[in-house]
Amino acid sequence: MSLESKIESFDPNAMAVGETLFGLPFEPEEARLIIIPIPWEVTVSYRTGTGAAPSAILEASKQVDLFESEIPDAWKLGVAMLPIPEEIAEKSHHLRKKAEVILNALSEGEDENQYQDLYEEINKEGDILREYIRKTAMHWIGKGKRVALLGGDHSTPLGLMDAMGEAYGDFGILQIDAHCDLRDAYEGFKYSHASIMFNALQNPRVTKLVQVGIRDFCEQEFQLAQNSDNRVKIYEYRAIRKEQFSGKSWYEIADDLLDELPENIYISFDIDGLDPSLCPNTGTPVPGGFRFEEVMFLIEKIVEKKKKIIGFDLNEVGVGEDEWDANVGARVLWGLCNYTGKSLGLI
């Protein structure tokens, strides 16, 4: 069936059935937006659980009502998630055990040089994953689709960022996060979750990085941003709140920070940019952070300013004893899908 025929026959008010994202009836070949699930968490430095996020969010997404009052036809965009690659999940689990050997040794003050073979293996597999994601994204972009990624830890979207530059040219990154992630090979891992933005900046197509909600970072990261010739702009959460306490509205602040970004924007959303009450099982929670509607307002404002969301990722959604984190993650994902579609004129 075509996208149009499925839209015609689908009842968005009915209970979600089947195993598709949000209970939508679309297959990848007919969808307009493809979600690449990556169950990977090899280099997380605190708590694990993000590797199971794609499957948990898939299940929780069936509880999301599809009506969006400001975008009534949002579900007609046509969103489909690719099958969760079990071989990547298995490899992540296997490599995570090896990474823990290194991390435990580092915590005991041991010399990291004795683990060069493990480092090389893990970094090589990171190269392979990056290229797998780039090729997968370019395959679907070549079919006229838009592409996003669902992790996993925050190391995962680098291959998608590579594809964004290859497909669309220069772009800016809007990073919503508690951390800067600007460390060079943190803990010795080239593809550390804490190094994603350092790695992204090696791509000359990334012309601007605007980091929003930051509240936990080191001096080295701060200096990198300060010496970036305005290529990196940090909006600390504390500074944002101070401006609000002094009477400046979130509308004005959001307007200012989005003016820093070019027309083409890629959103990298680490769930720990939210208040920890919304993501208690994320890998590295930090006090403070945005409420759900604050960050959705920021993303909505991209559309208002006539800028384009060319792609996005959602990462670091932890999986705990209940479904709360996945429930919030599913709703963040739904919002990202809807505003991406609207920014591109697809809905």
Buried residues in 258-285 as b, exposed as e (16+ CB within 10 A):
beebeebbbbbbbbbbbbbebbebbbbb
pLDDT digits (tens, 9 = 90+) for 185-226: 878 889 999 999 999 999 999 999 999 999 999 999 999 999
> Mean pLDDT over residues 118-133, rounded?
95
- Find the helix or strand (DSSP H, E) in which 215 lies: none
pLDDT digits (tens, 9 = 90+) for 74-93: 999 999 999 999 999 999 99
Q: What is the CATH number of domain 3-343?
A: 3.40.800.10
Distance of CA 217 to the CA centre of its chain: 19
pLDDT, residue 23, reads 96
Stated pTM of the model: 0.96
Of 279, 326, 318, which is closest to residue 49 (Cα–Cα)? 318
- Collect all residues with Cβ–Cβ distance below 8 Å to 305 and sequence separation of at least 6: 255, 258, 259
Q: Which single residue is written with the structure tokens 């930051």?
A: 214
104 pLDDT higher than 90: no
Q: Domain spans of the chain?
A: 3-343
DSSP 90-123: HHHHHHHHHHHHHHHHHHTT--GGGGHHHHHHHH
pLDDT digits (tens, 9 = 90+) for 127-175: 999 999 999 999 999 999 999 999 999 999 999 999 999 999 999 999 9
Quickly count: other Cβ atoms within 10 Å of residue 123's Cβ: 16
Q: Are the C-beta atoms of 122 and 189 separated by less than 8 Å?
A: yes
Buried residues in 288-327 as b, exposed as e (16+ CB within 10 A):
bbbeeeebbebbbbbbeeebbbbbbbbbbbbbeeebbbbb
112 pLDDT higher than 80: no
